Amino acid sequence: MNAKVIAIANQKGGVGKTTTCANLGIGLAQEGKKVLLADCDPQGSLSISLGYSQPDTLSTTLATVMGKVIMDIPIENKEGILRHEENVDLLPANIELSGMEVSLVNAMSRETVLKQYLDTVRKQYDFILLDCMPSLGMLTVNALASADSVIIPVQAQYLPVKGLEQLLQTIGKVRKQINPQLKIDGILLTMVDNRTNFAKEISSLLRETYGGSIKVFATDIPHSVRAAEISAEGKSIFAHDPKGKVAEGYINLTKEVLKIEKLRQKHKAGISR
């Protein structure tokens, strides 16, 4: 077993990165996969949405293990990893991670500190999902340097082309300089209000603009008040509103992600023959 590492990235905030990371992760766990969710944002949104409402009180977080990598201190198995009741593991984050962003500037091989850590746990999981912070700083570069692929959630409210271009440039740079294997799994439209023509227009515009070079997931994640409520409950949409449209969206996304991985494995097997 060697986990596929997926970064959920967009430097714009409020596009549904954390919701996607949590619900895709739990969706994969429901399909019998072993999943680690890593919170790579000093605001700790993922940790909060999985029930740790005061992440700043946690003693061991992503910052702790990255600090140990930098200082070359051994890390114990599963150190700092918390178990969520819906069968996923969480490596939480808190405000200490913003200090890590500063430490990384002077660290040796600063772009690959997170990768060095993930390499120590990779064999224990099928999937590792990284919830990136809304910036293109050192922590996001670390996430992209350690990922096999990226999922880009985009809010279907106005065309976020400028921001997307910046993110695609950063992914291109990381691919060129640090991680040539990095792929884009796709752009995921989130918070889609299907009652409006506007959402449909944006969806088709995105597909026209990027569809040739980048996959746009067939699944859209609908806008829902209930989805907004769940971050306060520490549960996934599946536990909160299993029959709702958002849960259905994440079930379909999970299937698409598993399909991409299956094709990748097949392709790998073909090459190694």
The total number of structural domains in the chain stands at: 1
Q: Are the C-beta atoms of residues 253 and 153 closer than 8 Å to each other?
A: no
| Structural domain harbouring 149 | 4-272
Q: Residues 6 or more apart from 194 whose CB is under 8 A from it? A: 200, 220, 222
Per-residue pLDDT of the chain (273 residues; tens, 9 = 90+): 689 999 999 988 888 899 999 999 999 999 999 999 999 999 999 999 999 989 999 999 999 999 999 999 999 999 999 999 999 999 999 999 999 988 888 888 899 999 999 999 999 999 999 999 998 889 999 999 999 999 999 887 666 666 788 899 999 999 999 999 999 999 998 988 877 777 778 778 888 888 778 888 989 898 877 666 666 678 888 888 889 899 999 999 999 999 999 988 888 888 776
Whole-structure pTM value: 0.94
Crossing angle for the helix pair 96-105 and 62-71, nearest 10 degrees?
30
Tell me, letter by letter, the H, E, C secondary structure of 214-250: CCECCCCCECCHHHHHHCCCCCCHHHHCCCCHHHHHH
CATH number for the domain that contains residue 99: 3.40.50.300
Q: Which of helix, strand or coil describes residue 53?
A: coil
User: What is the Rg, in whole angstroms, of the alpha carbon atoms belonging to the chain?
Assistant: 18
The β-bridge partners of 178 are none
